[in-house]
Amino acid sequence: MGITWIGSFLRNLTANRNLLKNLILRDLKQRYVGSVGGFIWSFVHPVVLLVCYTFVFSVVLRLRLDPRVGTENFPLYLFCGILPWFMFQDTVIRSCGAITDNSALITKTVIPSEILPIAITLSNLVHHLIGLTILLVALLLFHSIHWSILWLLLYLPILIIFAQGLGWLVSSLNVFFRDTTQMLNVLMVFWFWFTPVFYPAEMVPDSFQTLIAVNPMATLVSGYRTAFLQLSQPGPEQLLVLGGWTLAAFLVGALLFRLSKPGFADVL
C-alpha cells in the first residue's frame, strides 16, 4: 500500500510540475504584490537583520561568546541559527492555512491538494536560499568559507523534509480543527526559545541538556553552524534523534493528509 502511494504521489507530482511551478510563483509574488520594490525586499530583510544584530550585540552590548563555542562573531553565529529556524517556522505556520485559505480551489476545482503545502515549502526554500546567499557574502567579508559547508547537503534536505511533514500534518489538521493555527503559534514561541538560536547550547544548564538533545531544531541549528562556522558537530545520538523525528514527521504528516484528504471538500 505504501509503495503504491509513493508511486502515485511521485507520478502526480511530475504530472503537475507546471501547477507546482505556478503555485510557487503565485506564492512568491503574493508577498510582494503591489509593492514597487518587489523581489528586492526579500534581500533587504535578511541584510537589515544582520546589520541590526551586529549593532545590538557587538556594538551596544559587546557580547562575548563563551570560548567553548568556538567563534567570537556573534552576529554571524546568530544568523546561522536564525536562517534554518525561520525556514522551519515560516513553512509550518504558513502551511497551516494551505488548505483552508484555498477552499475555493479545493471545493470548486480538481486540484491535487497535497501540492499546496509543497508549494509553500518550496517558496520558503527560495527565500531561505536568498538568506543563505547573503550569509555566504557576509562570511566572505568577515570570516571565511570552509569545505565544511558541504554539511549543508545533509542538513538542508533534512530541514525541508521535516518542515514538509509537519506542514502536511498541520494543514490537514487545520481543516477540521481551526484552533490548530492558534495552538501552533503558541507552540512555536516555546519551541523558538527552547532552541539555542539566540544563545549557545553550551550555556544551557546540564539539567536541561536533554531538552536540547531531543529537539530536532537544536540539532539542525548546530548542524548549520558546523557547516558555516566549523563549530563542533552534533553528536551521533543527536543525529539519530533528528533522523527519527524527521522520518516520523514526514510519515505521520503524509499519512494524515492522505487519510483526511477525501473529507476536505465536505468540510470546507
263 binds other proteins (CB under 8 A): yes
Q: How far apart are CA 51 and CA 245, in angstroms?
A: 34
- Only segment of 85-93, 198-206, 217-225, 255-263 that touches other proteins (CB under 8 A): 255-263
Binding test (CB under 8 A) with other proteins, winner from 5, 8, 29, 182: 29
Terminal C-alpha separation, the chain: 28
Among residues 30 and 210, whose Cβ is nearest to other proteins?
30
Please state the φ and ψ torsions of residue 198, each to the nearest 5 degrees. -90, -10
Q: How far is the CB of 246 from other proteins (least distance, A)?
A: 22
Interhelix angle 74-96/152-176, nearest 10 degrees: 30
Enter the C-alpha cell of residue 129.
536560499
Binding mask of the shown chain, residues 155 to 184, with x at each position contacting other proteins by CB under 8 A: ------------------x-xxxx------
Residue 247 has a CB neighbour count (10 Å cut-off) of 14
CA distance readout (Å), 206 to 70, 223, 225:
19, 20, 21
Ranges within 80-109 binding other proteins (CB under 8 A): 104-109
Shortest distance, CB of residue 191 to other proteins, whole angstroms? 23
Among residues 141, 121, 151, 162, the alpha carbon closest in space to that of 50 is found at 141
Residues contacting 15, CB < 8 A, separation 6+: none
Residue 260 touching other proteins (CB under 8 A) = yes
Choose which of 4, 18, 144, 207 interacts with other proteins (CB under 8 A): 18
Q: Which residues contact 205 (CB under 8 A, 6 or more apart)?
A: none
Site for other proteins in 104-133 (CB under 8 A): 104-111
Could you give the CA distance from residue 129 to residue 196 in angstroms, rounded to a whole number? 22
Question: Least distance (Å) from other proteins to the CB of residue 34?
Answer: 7
> Quick check: 63 binds other proteins (CB under 8 A)?
no
Q: Which range, of 20-28, 79-87, 195-203, 231-239, touches other proteins by CB under 8 A?
A: 20-28
Binding-site ranges for other proteins (CB under 8 A): 15-16, 18-19, 21-23, 26, 29-30, 33-34, 104-111, 173, 175-178, 256, 259-260, 262-263, 265-267
